Amino acid sequence: MKKSRKETTFKARLSSFLMCAPITIWSVLFILLPVAMLVVMSFMTKGPLGRVVYSFTLENYTEILKPVYAEVVKQSLVIAVWTTALTVLLGYPLAAFIANVKKKTSGVLTVLLMLPLWVSGLVILYSFVVLLNTSGTINTILMNLHLIKEPLELLYNNFAVVVGMIYMFLPFAVLPMYSSIEKLDKGLIEASKDLGAGPVVTFFKVTLPLTSPGIFAAVILTFIPCIGYYMVTDMLGGGTSMMVGNLIYRQFTIARNWPFGAALSVILAVIILLMVLIYTKLGGDLDDLGA
């Protein structure tokens, strides 16, 4: 009998090991190992012709404190904050609307919200170039209506970058907020109304605090990609806007300074982990980040 139990336990463990082995091997080879290589490279030295010299140094991290790179970080934070704030402000009413309509309509609206994610990012960005150009759609319409005398400079500036970022990341902001609003107990709202609270007081005292995890998840899913997403700034910023993502991209491709690019990537990863940690400490659900 004891032997039979041991065999059963062994088979159960073997079965669990075989089931977990593929995902474990995948995670080690394609997640943990590349991250470990990136961290090690960030402490190495740049050699001639872009070669990596395996000599330990902290210069890659101290170099980030130089004024030229500090200005890039400052501009990245400004654009990311504006994009995140506007995306959340625009996305919250949309998420509330989707959460409060009929289930069938909600499903259709969610699919429509996801449609931009099924289109190539290059196609979307080129469409913004057509819209915002001095001879583009918006300026042409405004001039034909005699609302402006000269074309507006809507392209190749921070305004264009923020608009492009909002469009790209709006679905990522709406989905976690929609998840939080949908989970909200409607009985609490009714109780607030029964106690004499108006719509505004109910929103700020009941709805907003209870859906704050979804809002914070939206902030994470918008703020972090904004800093690292270089394609929007390249195409809509026209080289006038430099963000951390652009800096990392150029260190690995143009400057051939892989150790410095790795150090920037590590710092960005640490910021992401800290924001996720704060989110979980505030009671946020990690499932909302995958919504």
The reported pLDDT for the residue numbered 6 is 67
Kindly tell me if the per-residue pLDDT of 170 is higher than 60. yes
Is 124 or 284 the better-scoring residue by pLDDT? Answer: 124
Q: What is the rounded distance in angstroms from the CA atom of residue 111 to the CA atom of residue 196? A: 38
Q: What are the distances in angstroms from CA 167 to CA 115, 125, 160, 239, 243?
A: 12, 10, 11, 20, 18
The reported pLDDT for the residue numbered 3 is 52
Residue 146 DSSP label: T
The reported pLDDT for the residue numbered 284 is 65
Q: Which of 85, 44, 102, 60 is nearest to 263 (CA)?
A: 60
Q: What are the distances in angstroms from CA 13 to CA 7, 16, 154, 287?
A: 10, 5, 62, 28
Q: Residue 151 corresponds to which tokens in the numbers above?
A: 């074309």
The reported pLDDT for the residue numbered 276 is 79
The reported pLDDT for the residue numbered 285 is 64
Q: Return the H-helix or E-strand segment holding 19.
A: helix 2-27
Kindly tell me if the per-residue pLDDT of 226 is higher than 60. yes
Kindly tell me if the per-residue pLDDT of 2 is higher than 60. no
For residues 244 and 76, the answer to whether their CB atoms sit within 8 Å is yes
Q: What is the rounded distance in angstroms from the CA atom of residue 82 to the CA atom of residue 227? A: 12
Q: What is the rounded distance in angstroms from the CA atom of residue 175 to the CA atom of residue 113? A: 9
Q: Which of 222, 244, 234 is nearest to 83 (CA)?
A: 222
Mean pLDDT, rounded, for 59-65: 89
146 Rama class: left (phi>0) / alpha (psi -120 to 50) / beta: left
Kindly tell me if the per-residue pLDDT of 10 is higher than 80. no
Q: Work out the percent of the chain whose per-residue pLDDT is above 90.
A: 28
The reported pLDDT for the residue numbered 289 is 61
Mean pLDDT, rounded, for 168-186: 90
Is 3 or 241 the better-scoring residue by pLDDT? Answer: 241
Q: What are the distances in angstroms from CA 118 to CA 34, 221, 288?
A: 28, 18, 21
Highest mean pLDDT among 55-69, 79-93, 264-278: 79-93
Phi, psi of 45 (to 5 degrees): -115, 145
Provide the greatest CA pair distance for the chain.
93
Phi, psi of 237 (to 5 degrees): -85, -20
Q: What is the rounded distance in angstroms from the CA atom of residue 22 to the CA atom of residue 255? A: 37
Q: What is the rounded distance in angstroms from the CA atom of residue 79 to the CA atom of residue 106? A: 31
Does the pTM surpass 0.95? The reply is no
The reported pLDDT for the residue numbered 287 is 62
Kindly tell me if the per-residue pLDDT of 1 is higher than 50. no
The reported pLDDT for the residue numbered 20 is 83
The reported pLDDT for the residue numbered 82 is 94
Kindly tell me if the per-residue pLDDT of 21 is higher than 60. yes
Q: What is the rounded distance in angstroms from the CA atom of residue 213 to the CA atom of residue 235? A: 33
Phi, psi of 286 (to 5 degrees): -65, -20
List, for residues 99-154, the tens digit of each pLDDT value: 888 888 888 888 888 888 888 888 888 899 999 998 888 999 999 998 888 999 98
The reported pLDDT for the residue numbered 286 is 64
Q: Can you count the helices (H) and strands (E) in the chain?
A: 16, 2
Kindly tell me if the per-residue pLDDT of 4 is higher than 70. no
Q: What is the mean pLDDT of the chain?
A: 86
